[in-house]
Amino acid sequence: MLVADPTDRLVICVEDNYRDQQTVRKTGLALNPPAFLSSIIRPGPCDDVWFLPRATDSLTMEHRLLKPSACQRLDVGVSLAVEMALPIGPGEVSVDEAERAIGWARIALDVVRRDVPPEQAFLARSYPTHTPISEHRLLWSDMPTGADCTLQLTVNGRIRQRSNLEAQRASAATLITQIARSIRVSPGDLLLTGTPHGIAFDGGEQWLEAGDEIVASIDGLGQLTIYVEEELPK
């Protein structure tokens, strides 16, 4: 079930936003972004926060994740997604203004094809079903914060990621202030606020395979369970 028509939402995800992340994820960063993101993506030192595009037609509430038949390096991480309730920007906005503009929180998976050539980096996050989000959403004002909000991701029962919002370099509201300097953020737009250390790209874990069970959980939001399926030949 697709969440919305591609013209209805702006979907941006953030990479390199957790202090416990041990590997800088430079793959695809700012190499071939859509024009509207050129003023958002910030070239800078390795500990910077990076904004990356997501294709809106990859946004789904389905409980399956398609593994492209030719893809051997499919990766996943858990992310806190915030959904906007009020418009904000473009221009300078305060963190308090951004905080008030956030309406809800959801669980999201940041699924990335690591086999995409650098010159086609946008395609790494554009595949159908590769941005699953939870149907359940919680009012932002009711969300746990800091160390009280734990994120966890397991694959086939094995814990790959476990962290909390205190480890984020930049809060959701801070990220929105940076985005809103350049573009208008509208109700319904989604921001994935980063994924902690532990994805396969960070080392030590296997790439996703058909049959894998992915369980993502965030305190206050419950859990999102997704199954990986092999894409059928067309």
52 contacts 14 by C-beta, under 8 angstroms: yes
Predicted local confidence at residue 36, as pLDDT: 57
> How does pLDDT run along the chain (234 residues), one tens digit per residue?
545 454 578 898 888 889 887 766 655 444 455 565 565 555 443 345 777 778 888 899 989 999 998 899 999 999 999 999 999 999 999 999 999 999 999 999 999 998 887 666 677 888 889 999 999 999 999 999 999 999 999 999 999 999 999 999 889 999 999 888 888 999 999 999 999 999 998 887 899 999 999 999 999 999 999 999 999 876
Spatial CA neighbour of 67 closest among 77, 75, 55, 79: 75
Q: Check if CATH label 3.40.50.300 holds for domain 11-229.
A: no
Q: Where are the domains of the chain?
A: 11-229
| C-alpha pair distances (Å), 119 with each of 32, 33, 80, 97, 210 | 6, 10, 28, 37, 27
Locate tokens 């159908």: which residue? 128
Spatial CA neighbour of 194 closest among 217, 165, 173: 165
Residue 68 burial by CB count (10 A; 0-12/13-18/19+): exposed, middle or buried?
Answer: middle
